[in-house]
Chains A and B, each alone.
Chain A
């Protein structure tokens, strides 16, 4: 299996009779990947399988060429921030990280130095010697994130990492994740806040009912959803004229002027639409301010693929 990717081959996980994930095939490249799906869809199961906290009932998993059955190699590469909000009794932020780092083989002084550096990075220097039990929800989330990346892993797996963080904290952590991803590492983030996933992710994995319903870059995934016409928002000086010309195209489903936003077009053939639109602009001399896809977002794709499945579609 690939030494540069996180690979799932036909992976299923059953909890007795209950399905966790079913026949998952994935190949996750480096960069920041969003894992989205409703509660109980299998996001955490997928992350647990990736990190060996669960064993697959069937199939094979490899993380950068290492099997999750080999923790001594896996956790040199992987850091995992789980959804669990529990900590060893009596631990302080500093002792918690020191212990983790000493298990990674760092000497006492190295572990100490590294722990302080990571604590500073997550903004917990002042609370380092306080018991974690007395931390706020946001601080607990920060110490979990510190634990996940204190050993400088190549793969960061983060289960709802922004839960409980204030807006400032969210921005800081997002910066941290994107910095990691820019360095060519793998960062996998599950979140139910689709807007955040949209902003930070290079790619997305959508899971529903234990099955992967879409995987790839948002634009690619959106392009493959042929059941929903693609939406394009055009801001120009003569929207009515453009609308009348656009209506002549066969693949146009809808063209309507949305107040203060512009002309919203729904088309079944995006590539032909853009070709024809350029021609219309040249022919009519319309001044175009912006042309932007209106539904190439995680939110829209989620709604199309999963929202409808749940009976809550808004497309």
Chain B
């Protein structure tokens, strides 16, 4: 049964999420995120402008090209750092701005505060990165003219795009939870973010028992087109989609839970931060 307290907490979660979406999408600080997500679009535009005529005629490579761009640039760099920028700011940004106390003075449990902010972050990051992925996808196929458009709108083209979008949204959940927690723990969360990026980048070269400790290992399970990771990559048995989904959801939930525990002990000592 839903109690008035539950209803109140749901409203508070939605209010916080809406507020965070506004801050993430329309504040001056979001400019850095827009510059970051503008990079793949700019690159694809340049590629489209300067593509030799012989390549334009052949659309068959577009699917593989997007897979490589997605794996090595979008997922491992753009999605990763966009999430870092959005989620680290949820708490650390307000601590640096010395305005966190206003939210802490509201009649809401700290768990609700964490969930509301997290949800706001996931919505904002997903919105920005889903749009970026769709536009990049289109820009890869578009220079190939009608053949490219046909391929893009074909059953497999749409299905592939849906898989990439699923990866992006799941990455927002997983990286988001991690970076929100980092924002609560570290004064300069970008340092652990860069270290974690190193770990994620090294994943292909790690033995299986270490691969399972990275998000990208599970995220690529949803990739519709396999890519070559190079001669030194250690191949591992692919994770089935439902195990990957479970692992990502469970680890995100665990990180949000830890974040809410940390938030319960959060004190306002701006001078020390």
Instruction: Report A's interface with B, CB cutoff 8 A.
Output: 15, 48, 51-55, 71-76, 79-80, 82, 84, 86-90, 96, 99-100, 102-105, 147
Contacts and interface: CB of A to CB of B under 8 A. Distances in A.
Contacts of A55: 265, 267
Interface stretch (B98-106, B129-137, B194-202): B98-106
B18 to A, nearest CB: 9
B102 A100 contact: yes
B269 A87 contact: no
Given A53-B267, A53-B268, A71 B104 contact: yes
Given A71-B108, A76-B107, A89-B97, A54 B12 contact: no
Contact of B19 (A76, A79, A99): A99
Contacts, number: 81
12 contacts: A15-B272, A48-B268, A52-B104, A55-B267, A74-B107, A75-B108, A76-B107, A80-B105, A86-B98, A87-B102, A89-B28, A90-B28
Interface residues of B, number: 32
Nearest to B96: A86
Contacts of A51: 105
Contact of B27 (A87, A89, A103): A89
Give 4 nearest A-B pairs by CB, closest first.
A86-B98, A103-B106, A75-B107, A53-B268
Contacts of B15: 99, 102-103
A100 B27 CA distance: 19
Contact of A53 (B11, B16, B104): B104
Contacts of B105: 51, 53, 75, 79-80
B106 A75 contact: yes
A52 B266 CA distance: 9
B102 A147 contact: yes
A96 B267 CA distance: 22
Given A55-B265, A100-B102, A90 B27 contact: yes
Contacts of A71: 104, 106-110
Contacts of B12: 103, 105
Contacts of B112: 72
Nearest to A78: B105
Interface in B79-134: 94, 97-99, 101-110, 112
Contacts of A100: 102, 106
A84 B27 CA distance: 22
Given A75-B106, A84-B101, A99-B19, A105 B267 contact: no
